[in-house]
C-alpha cells in the first residue's frame, strides 16, 4: 500500500516567496506548521492508501487523460483560512478561476471514477496550503496578516504536467515522492 495523490507542482517564485516569508514573520509567535516551499502543490485528487496493483491503473488513467490536454497557466491570488477565525485550521492561497484547470480536474476525476476509484464528491476548491494552524493566540493579528494579501495576484503558474505522488509521513513532515510524471502535450 502506498498513500497517493494526484497534483500539479507549483514552484514558488519572487512574490509568493516574499509573501510566505512575510506571513511567517507576522505570525512567528503562533503555533503554525508551515509547508516547505519545495512541497507546495495543488491537489487534484487525494486517493490515500492504494494497493500497488492499482497504481499501475492510475498511471494508465493519467497517461490517457493528459495526452492531448495542452499546457496552460493559472494565477495565484488572495489568502484566507479554512474553517473560521474562531477555529482556524489551514492558511491557504487561492487560485483565480481557470476553465482549463477545472476541465483537467474533472477529466482526471472522471477517469478515476470510471476505473473504480473513490473520489471526493465535494466541490473542487483549488488552493495551495501554506500552513497548518496548531493553535492561535492572536486572531486579530492573523486576520490582519491575511488581509494584506486578500485581493492581490501573487504569481502565475505554468502547468505542463500532472504528477502522481506518494506521500510518506515522517516526524519532520511529509515527503512527496513522484511515482509518475504525465506531460500535458
What is the three-state SS of 23-84? HHHHCCCCEEEECCHHHCEEEEEEEEEECHHHHHHHHHHHHHHHCCCCCEEEEEEEEEEEEE
User: Residue 121: what pLDDT?
Assistant: 84
The predicted pLDDT at position 70 comes to 95
The predicted structure's pLDDT at residue 115: 94
> What's residue 185's pLDDT?
79
Q: Is the pLDDT of residue 113 over 90?
A: yes
Confidence tier at 172 by pLDDT (50, 70, 90): confident
Q: pLDDT class for 82, splitting at 50, 70, 90?
A: very high
Q: What are the chain's domains?
A: 2-183 (3.90.1140.10)
Check residue 151 and give its pLDDT: 87
Q: At what angle do helices 52-66 and 99-114 cross, to 10 degrees?
A: 140
Encode pLDDT of 51-70 as tens digits. 999 999 999 999 999 999 99
- pLDDT > 90: what percent of the chain? 89
Catalytically annotated residues: 41, 127
Using the predicted structure, report yes or no on whether residue 122 has a pLDDT greater than 90.
no
Query: What gap in Å lies between CA 146 and CA 52, rounded to an integer?
Result: 41
Taking only the tens place, the pLDDT of each residue in 133-170 is 999 999 999 999 999 999 899 999 999 999 999 999 88
Amino acid at each position: 500500500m502506498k498513500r497517493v495523490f494526484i497534483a500539479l507542482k507549483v514552484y514558488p517564485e519572487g512574490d509568493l516567496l516574499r509573501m510566505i516569508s512575510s506571513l511567517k514573520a507576522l505570525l512567528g509567535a503562533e503555533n503554525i506548521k508551515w509547508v516547505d516551499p519545495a512541497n507546495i502543490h495543488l491537489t487534484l485528487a487525494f486517493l490515500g492508501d492504494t494497493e500497488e496493483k492499482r497504481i499501475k491503473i492510475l498511471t494508465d488513467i493519467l497517461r490517457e487523460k493528459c495526452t492531448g490536454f495542452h499546457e496552460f497557466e493559472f494565477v495565484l491570488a488572495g489568502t484566507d483560512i479554512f474553517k473560521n477565525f474562531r477555529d482556524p485550521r489551514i492558511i491557504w492561497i487561492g487560485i483565480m478561476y481557470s476553465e482549463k484547470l477545472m476541465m483537467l480536474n474533472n477529466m482526471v476525476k472522471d477517469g478515476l471514477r470510471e476505473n473504480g476509484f473513490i473520489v471526493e464528491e465535494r466541490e473542487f476548491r483549488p488552493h495551495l496550503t501554506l500552513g497548518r494552524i496548531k493553535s492561535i493566540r492572536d486572531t486579530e493579528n492573523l486576520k490582519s496578516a491575511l488581509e494584506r494579501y486578500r485581493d492581490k495576484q501573487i504569481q502565475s503558474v505554468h502547468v505542463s504536467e500532472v504528477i502522481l505522488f506518494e506521500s510518506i509521513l515522517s516526524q519532520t513532515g511529509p515527503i512527496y515522492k513522484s511515482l509518475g510524471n504525465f506531460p500535458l502535450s
